[in-house]
Amino acid sequence: MPFNFSKKSATADDKSTASKDFDGAGGAAVSKSAQAAINVKLTAEQKIEFYRTMLRIRRFEERCLRSYQQERKIGGFLHLYIGQEAVAVGCCSVMQETDHVITAYRDHGHAIAVGMPLNPLMAELYGKVTGCSKGKGGSMHFFDPSRRYWGGHGIVGGQVPLGAGLAFALKYKGVKGAALTFLGDGAVNQGAVHEAYNLAALWDLPVVFIIENNGYSMGTSQARSSAGDLAKRAEGYNMAWGVCDGHDFYEVREATEKFLALAREKSKPSILEIKTYRYRGHSVSDPDKTYRDKAEIEEYRRTKDPIQLFQNTLVAEHILNDTLIEKIDAEAKEEAENSAAFADASPYPTLEDITKDVYWEEDNPSQKKSQGRIFFD
């Protein structure tokens, strides 16, 4: 029996039947993108891994929420990605070794999608020294340059010029790669975003601006915050653009690959708007009652859950079966649980750590005259 992701209680121990809460769950979700070249070439093992990654994101974040609300081990902001998993995993699944990625503050999914292990992520949320940023960044500021993942940025739209800059560096160095620059639908009205659009188009930068449109900029719906269509604004900058369904893993891959190819091969920027939905509040403190109906959330959970839909697809493709689904889920939950135990057992940074990682030179006194770390050399 496939797991039912539409249940509002996040505990996956619930074994209620899918058919009750999930219309269409019994039938295979047939994606029109299944036959796209980028998807046809996928092996069964790859598909299982992508499914597993989406599930790991969800189980990780459900565990985060428990650590936050019940155990009170995590504080501050916690912007959950639950409901949007197919976007990060789909987009990052078509990245090549010369592609780079940067995103905003709802960054857990992207971090896991690029391959960051869960332990340092959870430890970061716990504020522990074993965290990916040594407990100095927190939920909104995950980074992993070794996986070409440049954060994790807290200010709405502030990372978008940085993404254009990553693309500039690639072009300057003659590297055939692209910068996937994620932003939310709430960021599209920030000036810095439009400045980045203009520079990217003016300088033919290999960047794909990916608007993850979950319908709400915090508690303000798209209709109440943005005039016109979001991706279509690309036309004002002579950029290519497109819109795709973020609940459909194959479609996300097909659309992302199309614009990534445009960036890599022709050094042209583009805007891809991916329609998605978050089930949780903007952050943990969001009561989620003032700006949308519960029924709306339930409807999305019931009919659009990206993990459930991909699971259905893989079952229909005879790649997943109940046993495997159970196994993958049990492993994902165990991994998330282990990350919480790891974080819990880890020490906090010391008082001395506060003033480290401020200046390169102070941290590297013996290399004072060196040139630092330079990529591409």
- List interacting residues with another protein (CB under 8 A): 100, 102, 131-138, 141, 143-145, 150-155, 158-170, 172-173, 179, 191-192, 195-196, 198-199, 202, 356-361, 363, 369, 371-377
**C-beta closer to another protein: residue 348 or 375:** 375
The residue whose two tokens read 């985060």 is 64
**C-beta closer to another protein: residue 136 or 292:** 136
Long-range contact list for 17-24, CB < 8 A, 24+ apart? Answer: 18/308, 21/301, 21/302, 22/302, 22/303, 22/305, 22/308, 23/302, 23/303, 24/303, 24/312
- Shortest distance, position 126 Cβ to another protein, whole Å: 14
**C-beta closer to another protein: residue 72 or 373:** 373
First to last CA, the chain: 52
Q: Which helix (H) or strand (E) holds 274?
A: strand 270-275
Given a contact cutoff of 8 angstroms between Cβ atoms, the answer to whether 126 and 346 are in contact is yes
**Amino acid occupying residue 5:** F
**C-beta closer to another protein: residue 287 or 372:** 372
- Shortest distance, position 108 Cβ to another protein, whole Å: 15
Kindly write down the DSSP assignment for every residue of 302-364, as one continuous string: HHH-HHHHHHHHHHHTTS--HHHHHHHHHHHHHHHHHHHHHHHHSPPPPGGGGGTTS-HHHH-
For 83, counting Cβ atoms within 10 Å of its Cβ (0-12 exposed, 13-18 middle, 19+ buried), the class is buried
- Shortest distance, position 119 Cβ to another protein, whole Å: 15
State whether residue 162 is helix, strand or coil.
helix
**C-beta closer to another protein: residue 3 or 149:** 149
**C-beta closer to another protein: residue 50 or 150:** 150
Nearest-angstrom CA–CA distance, 177 and 180? 10
3-state helix, strand, coil in the chain (%, to 5): 45, 10, 45
Per the structure block, which two tokens stand in for 52? Answer: 């597993």
- Shortest distance, position 198 Cβ to another protein, whole Å: 6
- Shortest distance, position 4 Cβ to another protein, whole Å: 38
- Shortest distance, position 242 Cβ to another protein, whole Å: 23
- Shortest distance, position 372 Cβ to another protein, whole Å: 4
Nearest-angstrom CA–CA distance, 95 and 178? 9
| HSE (side-chain half, CA atoms, 13 Å) at 345 | 7
- Shortest distance, position 252 Cβ to another protein, whole Å: 24
**C-beta closer to another protein: residue 334 or 357:** 357
- Shortest distance, position 193 Cβ to another protein, whole Å: 9
**C-beta closer to another protein: residue 182 or 250:** 182
**C-beta closer to another protein: residue 40 or 374:** 374
Closest C-alpha among 357, 306, 336 to residue 141: 357
